[in-house]
Structure formats: C-alpha cells, structure tokens
Amino acid sequence: MIENLLPTAVIAREAFDDTVPVTLYPEEEAALGTPVDKRRREFGTARRCAHEALAELGFVGVGVPAGPRREPRWPAGVVGSITHCAGYRAAVVARSTDLVTVGIDAEPHEPLPAGVLDSITVPDELTWLAARRASHPQVHWERLLFCAKEAVYKAWYPLAQRWLGFEQAYVEATPGADAAATGGDFTAQLLVPGPELPGGGQLTGFTGRWLVRNGLILAAISVPAAPAA
C-alpha cells in the first residue's frame, strides 16, 4: 500500500503480521536491547522489510542499526524510513541521488486516545480539523494529523539531526477527489528554522500524501534530489 504514496524511485516492502522468521544482524540486536516479545516481533519484521528493500536496491547483507534517537541508520548512498503499528510494518528506501529524504508513518484508522490531540496541535490546525470533520466525517482526521506529523519528523531528522516537536510544524491535510475521501495530500510548514538542503536553499516545509485503507492510515513524504549540474 505504501508504494502508492511514493515515486517509482522508492522501493517499498510491507508486512501485515510477524509470521516470517527473522534473523537480525548483530548491530540490530544491539539496537533492540532486551524488549518484550511484542516489541521484538514488530522490530524484527520491520527490519526484515528493510533488508528486502535494501537487497532490491543492491545492498545485500546489510544491517540497519539505530542512531541516538532510535532512527534507522542507512548505508551510505541510501535514504529510507521505517514504520510499524498494530497489524502493519513497512520500510522504504531510495538512492540519495534520487531523493534527499523520505518519511513514512502508519497508524490505526481510529480516534486518537483521549488527551493526545491537545499535545500535538498548534491552534490553526484545530480550525481545519473542525472543517474536515464536518465535510468528511468518515475519516479520523485527528489520527491522520498525528500520522502526518510523524512522517514529517522522519523526513526532517536525517537532514537536521535534531528534534522537531509536534508544535514546531503546522500541518494541513486535504481530501482527494474521491467522494469516500480514502486519500489526499498534506502540507507541512516548519515553524522553526530548517537546515540547508544538499542542493542549496533552506528547508521550510514538506508536501506529502495520505491514504486510508484496510483499517489503517498511511502518510508519506519524499523530497526529490536536485538534478545533477
């Protein structure tokens, strides 16, 4: 499903359960630590998706360790992103000559837990959320906002190498043309100074796409690399 939100330069792998056995690389085991069984299964399946995607890109036998904020550390020349939630795991990768960064997230298509919305929104987001709930009540827009902001962070961090809080980006999602509103676009405006992009210029925000399918909300961001001079 996630490949529907991303350009053809991206290789995606996804899974809906943890039935396939997984052998982690030593550096991945170190990143995992000593978790409960549920965490081990979802981590392992997500890393298996990453291994398969990397292999198709030509990086065979390469592990994906974690950085200081538990972010996946991809091999040189690769950008990527990983997500997992109840009933879904996915990894996407691309060559850094094709994309500057990529960020994906998946969430259950259900209401946010009580009290979460206030901690993830800036005031102007409440205005469009109310309008979308009125016009397209079949979508859990608050959960979509959370999902999109998670994708924003995952696209931001490899470029900035620093934290981005929920309150540091204004995100707005819009429905597509289909009456069922099963997908659409979103924009993210950074409310803090962004890093310099590899091709020049300062990062000020992102555009992305979202999808509701099979009881899930998916969000994805991809930033194309500047053409070679």
How long, in residues, is the chain?
Answer: 229
pLDDT tens digits, one per residue of 193-222: 999 998 788 999 999 999 999 999 999 999
pLDDT tens digits, one per residue of 178-193: 766 799 999 999 999 9
pLDDT at 91: 98
Residue 66, strand partner residues:
72
pLDDT at 179: 63
H helices within the chain, ranges in order? 26-32, 37-57, 117-120, 123-135, 141-160
User: Mean of the pLDDT values across residues 14-37?
Assistant: 88
> Residue 70: pLDDT band by 50, 70, 90 thresholds?
confident
CA dihedral 144, 148, 153, 154 (to 10 degrees): 110
pLDDT at 218: 98
Instruction: Report the range of poorest mean pLDDT among 2-11, 63-72, 119-128, 153-162.
Output: 63-72
Inter-residue contact 225 to 199 (CB < 8 Å): yes
CA distance linking residue 225 with residue 63, whole number of Å: 25
Q: Parse the chain into domains and list their residue ranges.
A: 2-224
Share the mean pLDDT of the chain. 94
pLDDT of 227 > 80? The answer is no
Give 3-state DSSP helix, strand, coil % of the chain, rounded to 5: 30, 30, 40
Inter-residue contact 12 to 99 (CB < 8 Å): no
pLDDT of 17 > 60? The answer is yes
pLDDT of 229 > 60? The answer is no
User: Mean of the pLDDT values across residues 44-55?
Assistant: 97
pLDDT of 33 > 90? The answer is no
User: Mean of the pLDDT values across residues 140-151?
Assistant: 98
> Residue 228: pLDDT band by 50, 70, 90 thresholds?
low
Q: What is the percent of the chain with per-residue pLDDT over 90, rounded to a whole number?
A: 86
Unique residue bearing structure tokens 């429905």: 175
pLDDT: which is higher, 103 or 23: 103
User: Mean of the pLDDT values across residues 100-114?
Assistant: 97
pLDDT at 177: 80
